[in-house]
Structure 1
Amino acid sequence: MTLGFASLFVAYAAGMGLVVGAASLTVALTRSTAVARLRRVGAWAPRIGGGLLLAVGAYVAYYGWYEIRARRDPALADPVIDGAGAVQRALADRVDGVGPGPLAAFVAVLLVVSALVARRRHRRRSAAADA
């Protein structure tokens, strides 16, 4: 049973590492373009983040209240919780339907394209510096 938990942890860590690595690579390669755009959006980022935090906090509080009610009445049905569960299941089924092979291929293509874009930018900078 311990091996199952260890393999689950390793799979989770690899998935999170892949997401963080891809995001970091994307930011590094699109830095100049992204910075200009993010400056404009930056004024709204705290408000958007606060709104998301408020929505997530409200859902967590609502879910806690649902759990308290569900302890008293196990047959309790709640449309908000059922809707959130349906969305989660649909997303999980979609990712599961795609499978690990195509997802890994997609990430590999993103990495190759990112490397090619970075190489092209480096060549342009080198050519501009030489001129």
Structure 2
Amino acid sequence: MRHLGARISRIAPGRVHIVLPARPEVTQQNGYFHAGATSAIADSAGGYAAYTLFPEGADVLTVEYKINLLAPAVGDHIEAVGTVLKSGRTLTVCQLEVYGVREEDGSRTLVAHGQQTLIRVGQTATER
């Protein structure tokens, strides 16, 4: 995320927001945010959202995710929102949303939507 210039902007139990400012390094030939950058922050937002519900000592890995690109990703930044739909002992399912945000008027356009499955790895002291 550091390489892309993304940062976490909000954290709550089961929900994380990640913001990625517009700059040439994360856009494609038409000036839209690149699908790879859009997908990367969506994947991380879901992973961190799941992580907020895991016990201490556990870690998270993405098992799979599917993302639909709904509109060209434009704006001053994009914001990914990962929300836990179901947190299980082993697998967690998250909803992924990415919005294009224009700072001048505060408009938000849904540019991508997806779903993700994550696996909890590592053991806590009580599980050993």
TM-score of the superposed pair, with normalisation by structure 1: 0.22
As a proportion of its length, which structure holds more helix?
1
Normalised by the length of structure 2, the TM-score is 0.22
Give the number of the structure whose alpha-carbon radius of gyration is greater: 1
Q: Indicate the structure with greater strand content.
A: 2
